């Protein structure tokens, strides 16, 4: 389903052509129904119940008006003109209950008002129930879609936009459901009341409908030109706010170290001003239609009474009950029309977010990484890159004819300048992307034939950008897995972090703070290593795991790496060549190609690229 674009100029053009305008209104209603159906999938029976209750509410509201006429006639003790359509109902009520008219119809009026009250409560509760279930279901769908996206999605989209799409935008679905169900109920009530009023005074209804149509056109124009624009600005501004706050929190240490708070304050001010500088003017125009409607209604009632008095001076008493019923009807219709106008403005305000969510849930661009069906049970042989090529874009080649072998139960290292393609090889190995040419073979099978979940469970991965979240050391190590205390402690000991944790007041239940702010760089890295080891991996990937550490921390972490890599297949991306001197095989990369391979002594003897890198490191 494609959501409709909103074009205020198109609206004006259509108003000049009645048939086109009617078709456009039908199309808009149809799109609104499709939208409601899309977001309420699985809850259609509740929507049907809401529709039935809306019709019943409309009937009950209508019969309140029907009962008001005989009450007013009886109150002034004057028999005005009869309304033929409703006389059989009045006579049936008199035959059933023998009471004076004023008592009989007043009691029936109280009964209908009570029934309306109870039914409206049931309607509201059902609406809230549907809204709760739809919003939670939609949020789960959005998060499921998020985590199913390829890694490339997170590379090309801003973090602030992602947070907005997942956290903020779905809230508008709740508002949309509240608004649409309310409009459904109020719209049906308005229609039933107007039909009833036709039998009371067709002239009055024509006057009301004429004003209503003008009012609806005004609301449509302002809604499309103002409310939709305001909603789009708000979405853009909130995304920018999320991006600024996320960036500030992520780089807090560096920002504070250079007194950069003022720069980020200015960025935040710009994000705020994008929306709020125009908020007053645009919001003011949103309230104009309902204000005009109420003003014109009250003035019109007074003018109508004066006109009828002079036109029907001798028979003025005859039309008082009809006037009373009409005014009571109008008092039920006009506020609802005003409410519908406000709700339409709100829907236009919410529309950009609904469009964003819909596009996000139906975007297929980020589901290209192939997931096989073969279960990966264990690593039994070498991992082989066979003439692998890769690029993000058609006019780019990051990896060119890569051939390398990660030997089983040996240590394989990859070195090279920044931008040579080392991290891209890790990304392919971790299934962030699929190769564009060639293949990666594991145990004789293409890596794309394996189920990603079973494959990745056998890999322990430690990167230079350690992920530590604001919880206990225990949770940071087990990461939601089902591991025993003994497994966790054994992994921590291998990672050389157990002694440090045991010395903390709360041990493994110590909170590490946001992004592990209470831990040093070396401590965070060793927690990450323990996290990789607790899973008992058969293949360990270390992506420049010591590059951001000081010499002392590096030595401690390196000791852990040397110990754990003795009996496991290990692939190391090295920044400091001194850390991989004992590797069984070292590959040297330059500009997306493997230019050398061998052990440390062999490569130094060649005095080639590796020799240059090693000598430069000094």
Task: Encode pLDDT of 62-102 as tens digits.
Answer: 777 777 767 766 666 555 555 556 677 777 877 888 888 77
The arithmetic mean of pLDDT across residues 121-127, rounded, is 86
Q: Name the more confident of 162 and 296.
A: 162
Q: What is the mean pLDDT of residues 31-49?
A: 73
In this structure, what are the phi and psi dihedrals at residue 146, rounded to the nearest 5 degrees?
-60, -50
Q: What was the pLDDT predicted at 214?
A: 64
Question: What residue has token string 């890198």?
Answer: 613
pLDDT score recorded for residue 203: 63
What is the structure's pLDDT at 12? 42
Which of 42-56, 106-120, 375-389, 549-563 has the least mean pLDDT? 549-563
Distance from C-alpha of 587 to C-alpha of 413, rounded to nearest angstrom: 6
Residue 268 in tokens: 């935040």
Question: Residue 10 has what pLDDT?
Answer: 45
DSSP structure string for 541-606: EEESTTTTS-HHHHHHHHHHHHHHGGGSEEEEE-SSGGGGTT-SEEEEEETTEEEEEE-HHHHHHH
Band (pLDDT 50/70/90 cuts) for residue 290 is: low
Residue 11: predicted pLDDT? 43
Q: Does position 585 have pLDDT exceeding 50, yes or no?
A: yes
- The pLDDT score that the predictor gives to residue 79 is 56
- Of residues 498 and 243, the one with the higher pLDDT is 498
More confident residue, 460 or 228: 460
Residues 6+ apart with CB under 8 A from 421: 398, 399, 402, 589, 591, 592, 593
- Render pLDDT for 261-274 as a digit per residue (tens, 0 to 9): 777 778 778 777 76
The 8-class DSSP code of residue 164 comes to: I
Res 4: pLDDT: 44
β-pairing, 411-416 with 585-590? parallel
Location of structure tokens 């009474």: 305
pLDDT for the residue numbered 88:
76
pLDDT at 33: 67
The band of 342, judged by pLDDT with boundaries at 50, 70 and 90, is low
Alpha-carbon distance 68 to 313, whole Å?
23
> Across-strand partners of 585?
412
In the structure, what pLDDT confidence band is assigned to residue 480 with cuts at 50, 70 and 90?
low
Q: Cα–Cα distance between 517 and 280 in angstroms, integer?
A: 41
Does the pLDDT value for residue 227 go beyond 60? Answer: no
Q: Answer whether 0.85 is exceeded by the pTM.
A: no
What pLDDT is attached to residue 596? Answer: 92
Confidence of residue 389 (pLDDT cuts 50, 70, 90): very high
Spatial distance between the Cα atoms of 356 and 79, rounded to a whole number of angstroms: 61
Kindly state the average pLDDT of the residues 171-200: 74
What pLDDT shows up at residue 425?
A: 92
pLDDT in tens, 547-572: 666 666 667 667 777 777 777 888 98
C-alpha dihedral sign at 293, 297, 298, 302: positive
Where do the structural domains in the chain lie, given as residue ranges? 8-361, 383-617
CATH of region 8-361: 1.20.1560.10
Share of the chain above pLDDT 70, in %: 69
pLDDT at 202: 67
CATH 3.40.50.300 is held by the domain 383-617: yes
What average pLDDT does this structure show over 434-458? 90
In the 3-class helix/strand/coil scheme, how is 401-466 assigned residue by residue?
EEEEEECCCCEEEEEECCCCCHHHHHHHHCCCCCCCEEEEEECCEEHHHECHHHHHCCEEEEECCC
Is pLDDT at 344 greater than 50 in this prediction? yes
Residue 375 confidence class, pLDDT cut points 50, 70, 90? very high
Over residues 28-45, the mean pLDDT reads 70
Question: Residue 7: what pLDDT?
Answer: 47
Per-residue pLDDT at 164? 76
pLDDT band with cut points at 50, 70 and 90 for residue 456:
confident
Average pLDDT over every residue of 228-242: 68
Task: Tell me how far apart the alpha carbons of residues 282 and 279 are, in angstroms, rounded to a whole number.
Answer: 5
3-state class percentages of the chain: helix first, strand second, coil last, to nearest 5: 65, 10, 25
**Choice among 86-100, 139-153, 230-244 with the minimum mean pLDDT:** 230-244
Looking at every residue in the chain, the average pLDDT score rounds to 77
Note the pLDDT of residue 296: 66
Q: How far is CA 607 from CA 317, 381, 414, 611, 617, in A?
A: 115, 32, 17, 5, 14
The highest-confidence range among 22-26, 163-167, 312-316, by mean pLDDT, is: 163-167
Q: How confident is the model at residue 405 (pLDDT cuts 50, 70, 90)?
A: very high
pLDDT-based confidence at residue 172 (cuts at 50, 70, 90) = confident
Determine the average pLDDT of the residues in 251-256: 62
Q: Where residue 155 falls among pLDDT bands split at 50, 70, 90?
A: confident
Answer whether residue 546 shows pLDDT above 80: no
Q: In the prediction, which pLDDT does 263 show? A: 73
């Amino acid at each position: 389903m494609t959501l409709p674009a909103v074009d205020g100029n198109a609206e004006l053009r259509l108003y000049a052509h009645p048939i086109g305008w009617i078709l456009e209104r039908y199309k808009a209603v149809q799109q609104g129904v499709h939208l409601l159906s899309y977001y309420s999938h699985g809850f259609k029976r509740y929507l049907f119940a809401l529709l039935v209750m809306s019709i019943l509410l409309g009937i009950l509201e209508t019969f309140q008006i029907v009962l008001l006429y005989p009450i007013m006639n009886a109150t002034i003790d004057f028999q005005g003109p009869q309304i033929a359509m409703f006389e059989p109902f009045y006579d049936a009520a008199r035959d059933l209950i023998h009471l004076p008219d004023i008592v009989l119809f007043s009691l029936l009026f109280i009964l209908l008002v009570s029934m309306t009250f109870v039914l409206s409560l049931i309607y509201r509760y059902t609406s809230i129930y549907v809204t709760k279930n739809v919003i939670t279901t939609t949020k789960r769908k959005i998060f499921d879609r998020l985590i199913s996206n390829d890694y490339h999605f997170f590379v090309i989209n801003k973090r602030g936009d992602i947070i907005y799409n997942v956290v903020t935008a779905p809230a508008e679905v709740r508002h949309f459901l509240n608004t649409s169900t309310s409009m459904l109920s109020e719209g049906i009530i308005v229609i039933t009341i107007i039909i009833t009023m036709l039998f009371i005074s067709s002239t009055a209804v024509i006057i009301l409908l004429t004003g209503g149509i003008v009012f609806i056109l005004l609301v449509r124009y302002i809604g499309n030109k103002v409310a939709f624009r305001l909603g789009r600005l708000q979405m853009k501004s909130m995304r920018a706010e999320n991006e600024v706050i996320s960036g500030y929190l992520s780089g807090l240490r560096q920002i504070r170290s250079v007194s950069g708070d003022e720069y980020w304050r200015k960025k935040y001010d710009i994000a705020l001003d994008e929306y709020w500088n125009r908020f007053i003017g645009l919001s003011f125009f949103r309230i104009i239609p309902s204000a005009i409607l109420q003003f014109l209604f009250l003035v019109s009632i007074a003018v109508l009474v004066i006109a009828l008095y002079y036109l029907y001076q001798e028979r003025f008493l005859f039309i008082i009950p009809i006037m009373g019923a009409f005014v009571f009807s109008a008092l039920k219709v006009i506020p609802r029309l005003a409410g519908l106008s406000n709700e339409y403005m709100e829907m236009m305000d919410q529309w950009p977010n609904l469009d964003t969510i819909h596009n996000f849930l139906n975007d297929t661009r980020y589901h290209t990484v192939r997931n096989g069906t073969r279960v990966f049970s264990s690593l039994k042989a070498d991992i082989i890159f066979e003439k692998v090529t890769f690029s993000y874009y058609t006019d780019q080649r990051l990896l060119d004819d890569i051939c390398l072998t990660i030997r089983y139960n040996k240590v394989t290292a990859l070195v090279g300048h920044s931008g040579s393609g080392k991290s891209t090889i890790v990304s392919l190995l971790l299934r962030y992307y699929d190769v564009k040419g060639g293949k990666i073979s594991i145990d004789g099978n293409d890596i794309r034939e394996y189920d990603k979940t079973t494959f990745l469970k056998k890999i322990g991965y430690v990167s230079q950008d350690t992920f530590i979240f604001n919880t206990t050391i225990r949770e940071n190590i087990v990461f939601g897995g089902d591991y025993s205390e003994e497994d966790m402690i054994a992994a921590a000991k291998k990672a050389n972090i157990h002694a440090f944790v045991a010395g903390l007041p709360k041990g493994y239940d110590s909170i590490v703070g946001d992004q592990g702010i209470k831990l040093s760089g070396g401590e965070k890295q060793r927690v990450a290593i323990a996290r990789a080891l607790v899973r008992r991996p058969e293949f360990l990937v270390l992506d420049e795991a010591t590059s951001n550490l000081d010499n002392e921390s590096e030595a401690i972490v390196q000791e852990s790496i040397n110990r754990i890599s003795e009996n496991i297949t290990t692939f190391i991306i090295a920044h400091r060549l001194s850390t991989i001197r004992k590797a069984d095989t070292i590959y040297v990369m330059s500009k997306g190609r493997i230019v050398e391979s061998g052990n440390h002594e062999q490569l130094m003897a060649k005095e080639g690229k590796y020799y240059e890198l090693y000598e430069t490191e000094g």
